[in-house]
């Protein structure tokens, strides 16, 4: 085998590479288009590469749009949702795994059953409830309905069930309160499950489009995906502007992904979720 040219392997490598390049082309297009000038972008003879590099698009984004505000809105809502969801999932999972109480089974089945209900069924009454609370155009409208996750509680329960009861009893005998026991005994052992859940919760919150579209319409309150679509509606001709906004939005996401990639992929295998 050695030294011989492995033709099928080369063909395989070639096709996988071509596929990977095709997957990357929209990003390349986005970056290159963002560097075209306002004038060049509307000329039909413009090619893939900009004739001269221009930062017109970026200037427009920074000057005309509350870009930092959008990033901040997304960061605040996604971080709040993720932190609280991790906490409610862990503590809810702990109570369902290690305590016995009346109605336990019914509550748990209820939590699981709602996981499969499509968001389109829930969104209309949720909108009416949020409107009654007077939270339309308020970032709290994004945060509050997303603080509890049926899947998160389920995942934490599965993990906690494998922790021996003796450990919990030992902590109690040492005089630790119920919350202390949870915080110092259970939580540290949940790290792999919670880091996976955290990554996915954050990403789902960051990327969510439909719910923000329903409850936010003030430009200053928008989260990033909603803002980009809104911006696209205003600058559909000069799409170098929209592409610049796209690049600015994607850069932090890609960097974060490349840093956490390993945990990310592991988490997907661990939880089988997306």
Partner 1 sequence: MQVQTETNMPSKENQNQKTLSDLYKKKRQFIFVTLTPIMVLFMIFFVIPIVWGLLLSLYQYNPLNANSPFVGLENFKELLRDDVFKKTFWNTFKFIIIAVPGNIFLTLFIAIGISKIRSRFFQDTFRTLYFLPCIAPLAASAVVWSTLFNSDRGLFNMILTNLGFSGIDWLTDPTMAMYSVIIMTLWADMGFNIVIFIAGLNAIPEMFYEAADLDGAGKWDRFRNITVPLLSRTTLFITIMTSLSYFQMFPQFQVLTNGEPQNETRVLALSIYDHAFKYFNMGYASAIATVLFLIILIITIIQLRVGKSNWEY
Residues in 75-134 at the binding interface with partner 1, rule: CB under 8 A: 88, 91-92, 95, 99, 101, 107, 110-111, 114, 116-129, 131
Is residue 69 a contact residue for partner 1 (CB under 8 A)? Answer: no
Q: Residue 69 Cβ, how far from partner 1 at the closest point, in Å?
A: 17
Rounded Cα gap, residues 206 and 79, in angstroms:
9
Candidate list 167, 177, 251, 259; residue touching partner 1; CB under 8 A:
177
Backbone angles phi, psi at 99, to 5 degrees: -125, 155
Candidate list 148, 154, 189, 263; residue touching partner 1; CB under 8 A:
148
Rounded Cα gap, residues 94 and 157, in angstroms:
6
Fill in the per-residue mask, 38 to 57: x = in contact with partner 1 (CB under 8 A), - = not in contact: ---xx-x-xxx---------
Candidate list 76, 83, 147, 185; residue touching partner 1; CB under 8 A:
147
Q: How many CA atoms lie within 13 A of 84 on its CB side?
A: 14
Inter-axis angle of helices 239-271 and 67-98, nearest 10: 10
Beta strands in the chain (DSSP E): none
Is residue 33 a contact residue for partner 1 (CB under 8 A)? Answer: yes
Q: Residue 262 Cβ, how far from partner 1 at the closest point, in Å?
A: 9
Backbone angles phi, psi at 10, to 5 degrees: -65, -40
Rounded Cα gap, residues 139 and 136, in angstroms:
8
Is residue 23 a contact residue for partner 1 (CB under 8 A)? Answer: yes
CB nearer to partner 1: pick between 52 and 106: 106
């Amino acid at each position: 085998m050695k030294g011989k040219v492995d033709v099928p392997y080369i063909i395989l490598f070639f096709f996988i590479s071509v596929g990977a390049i095709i997957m990357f082309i929209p990003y390349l297009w986005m970056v290159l288009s963002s560097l075209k000038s306002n004038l060049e972008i509307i000329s039909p003879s413009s090619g893939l590469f900009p004739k001269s590099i221009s930062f017109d698009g970026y200037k427009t984004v920074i000057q005309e749009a509350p870009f930092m505000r959008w990033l901040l809105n997304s960061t605040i809502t996604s971080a709040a949702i993720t932190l609280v969801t991790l906490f409610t999932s862990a503590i809810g999972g702990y109570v369902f795994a290690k305590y016995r109480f009346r109605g336990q089974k019914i509550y748990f089945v209820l939590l699981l059953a709602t996981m499969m209900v499509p968001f389109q069924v829930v969104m209309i009454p949720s909108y009416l409830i949020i409107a009654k609370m007077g939270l339309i155009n308020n970032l709290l409208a994004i945060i509050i309905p997303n603080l509890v996750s049926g899947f998160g509680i389920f995942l934490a329960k599965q993990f906690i069930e494998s922790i021996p009861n003796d450990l919990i009893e030992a902590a109690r005998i040492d005089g630790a309160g119920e919350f202390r026991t949870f915080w110092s005994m259970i939580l540290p052992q949940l790290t792999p499950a919670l880091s996976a859940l955290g990554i996915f919760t954050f990403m789902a919150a960051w990327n969510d489009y439909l719910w923000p579209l329903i409850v936010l319409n003030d430009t200053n309150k928008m989260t990033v995906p909603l803002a980009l679509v809104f911006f696209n509606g205003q600058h559909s001709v000069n799409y170098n502007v929209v592409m610049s906004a796209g690049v600015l939005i994607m850069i932090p996401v890609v960097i974060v992904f490349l840093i956490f990639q390993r945990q990310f992929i592991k988490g997907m295998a661990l939880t089988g979720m997306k």
